[in-house]
Structure formats: C-alpha cells, structure tokens
Structure 1
C-alpha cells in the first residue's frame, strides 16, 4: 500500500511537469547580421514568419528570437555565440551569415578568407551541436540583383555558398540554400536585369517583397522534419 501511495505521489508531481514540457514553445534563434537585425522590425522577415505561423494557428508553438547585428561576419558570431544564442537555450538555430565576409573584402579589405570562414563556421556548429540544438545553415543571398552573374561579388558568393553546402553535408545538417532561391527568383522576376529594387533596396538589404520571400523560405525550412 505504501508503494502505491509513493507511486501516486510521484505521478502527481510528474504529470504537471510533463504537461509544462509539452506546452513549451519551440525556441528558434535567427543568428546573423544586419539583415537579421532588421528581421524583427514590423516588416522584417522574422516578424513575417511569426505572422504566417499565427495565420496557421501555430504561433503559440514557437518562440522566435532575432540575434542579428549589423556588420557581423562569421567571427563576430563566434564571439557572441554564448551570450546571444546559447544563453537563450534554443531548440533551433538558423545561421545566416556570409554577406559581410564577402562584401567587406571588396569595400574595406576586412572580409573573411575562405579557410577562416570555414574554420569559424565549423566552430559555431560544434558548439551548437554539443547542446543538441537543431542547426539550419543558410547560404548568403545576393550583393546585387543582376541575374546574369555580372554582379561584382557573384564569384565570391558562389564560392562561399559552395563552402556552406559542403559544411552542411559534412556535418549532416539541414541546408537552406538561400543563394539558389534568390537567384532563381531573380531570373524569373527581374527581366530588366536591375541591380536592385526587386528583393533588395540597396543590393543587399531587403525590400518588403524580399522580407516576405525570405520569411517563406525560412518557414518552409523550419517546418521540415
């Protein structure tokens, strides 16, 4: 009889804890640069992901957190990983970095060489995986919207995107190939071969349409099992 009451007591304590765990939303961190920093604005892509989740009646199942800082490169993400990501105890992390690693090479000579880019990217992944966090890696999008490979940084962006695809394969991680998605979109929707104004305002940062398109791709990736 004493054993029965002991088991009953354990059940009374455990059931509410299990219920709390079941009701806990999935915490998603978007980790990146100024594009992600702007993602939490009223028209930003993270806000739009939240709106789409709400339209599906799933907004209470997810907690979305933006962790973007303008000008950041992969090394900057590594330096603030503990405070800005791991301390929040996320279930899912999108790593979306690379534009500044490429862009700053041409604009100010402070970009990131390919070998160092891979080194710090792999270091990020190692720390995230050690916490059993689901990691989704994203290729960098565009620096210029011309669809004929005539943008100045197209070659470097293609190279760094290839590196991320290889990192994803090597680490058995989910890949969100934003570079390909953006290029495919621009082939179809930029018949005048404009440098900006379709998905970006200034060749890099997003228009409303760009934020919407990015949000749709992020949500698709998040929903994949």
Structure 2
C-alpha cells in the first residue's frame, strides 16, 4: 500500500526518541536529525513544487500511554493529512531496565484508541512503523519475547485501519547482517545509526511512491 502526498498536505511524525532525535533541544532542527528529517528532505527533493508541510512531535522516552495522553494536542490539533507513528520499544525496554511492564493488551488498546481518533476526526492516511530491536548484546535477545507481540499488534492494526506498514524490524535486522553487525545499524540495539536512519527514511519515502 502507498500513500498519496497532495500539494499542500501536512505530514505528522509521532513517536519516541527514534523520531525526536534532537528536535526538542535543537531549535534550528524542528524535524530532528533522524529518519523524519531525511524523509522530509527526500520528499522535498522529489517534489520541488510541493507545499507539503512536515511536523515532528516525537518525544524521547515516550511509550504508548504517553503518546495517547498527548494525542489531542500533539496530533489531532495539527489536522494532519498523513500520520506516521513509530512507538513501542520503550514499552519493552522499561520492562527490562526498570521492571515497568506494559502488557501487549494495554499496548494494543492505547494504540487502537489513537488510531480510532485519527480515523474518526481526521480521516488521515496512516503509516505505522514497526517497533524494532537490533540486538547488540546477548541479553537483548530476551527482549524479543516482549517486543515481538507488539510488532504483531502493529501489523494487525495496520490491516484493521487500512494503514501503510513499514516493516522496520525485519528491514533493519537484515541490514545489520549485510553491514557486518548490529552496531552499524543501531549502536545500542534501539537507536539507529545514521545508516539506520537513512534506511528508515528510504523505506518511508518508498511508501509515498518516491
């Protein structure tokens, strides 16, 4: 499935630190310095006559409940035509570093709630990006028990809400093998390297037919 970016569309990127990438601490980089900015740059380069507006509201550290709590102000009120969401790895990470558990059911309920708002109030096109993990430490393989059901949830919701799906987990793990190791794609297993962000941006713009 591809999305359509019309001349004056507003595109909203939402998520956690993987989407934020410095946009909150660098006033001159409102789109951050990761895949969101790279994807916007690729679209602008391909569509030079375009008035497409890009907005990044990713916030480092957020899990799905945080996203739902700020969804009105940081999503619906922007009246976007395209909503791109990448969320979930912190819900897994906190289980292993802090003992804070977000069940798969709670994750799905919150995710479905924000998608329902988009459908009912905006009728915007959706891009759902799988949460991903590219293990760099042996113990991170155990995280898959918690993360994999979230990835399946995103795939299921993409079908339910007729969203474009960016299958980031497989994409980045395959890229890690090709690059010679996970550290080339995500230095800590979670946060992409410049190469990792470039791959996400390329896959994102492919969903727009670019």
TM bin, normalised by shorter chain, reads 0.7 to 0.9
Matched with 2:3 is none
Point out where structure 2 has 5 or more consecutive residues left out of the alignment: 1-5, 24-28
Q: Number of matched residues?
A: 197
Q: Let me know the Cα RMSD of the aligned residues.
A: 2.4
Runs of 4+ in 1 over 6 A off after TM superposition: none
| TM score, norm. by length of structure 1 | 0.79
Matched with 1:94 is 84
| TM score, norm. by length of structure 2 | 0.84
- Paired residue secondary structure (1:49): helix
Q: Which has the higher contact order (CA 8 A, sep 6+)?
A: 2
> Which segment drifts farther, 69-78 or 166-175?
166-175
Q: Which has the higher helix share?
A: 1
Which of 9, 13, 16 is matched with 1:33 structurally?
16
Matched with 1:138 is 129
- In structure 2, the CA distance between the partners of 1:58 and 1:101, relative to structure 1 (3 Å rule), is farther
Q: Is the 8 A contact 1:32 1:77 kept in 2?
A: yes
- 1:11-26 paired onto structure 2 within 5 Å: 25-26=8-9
Q: Is the 8 A contact 2:134 2:185 kept in 1?
A: no
Which of 27, 37, 46 is matched with 2:36 structurally?
46
Larger Rg: 1
In 1, distance between residues paired with 2:69 and 2:169? Answer: 25
Point out where structure 1 has 5 or more consecutive residues left out of the alignment: 1-22
Matched with 1:84 is 74
Matched with 2:201 is 215
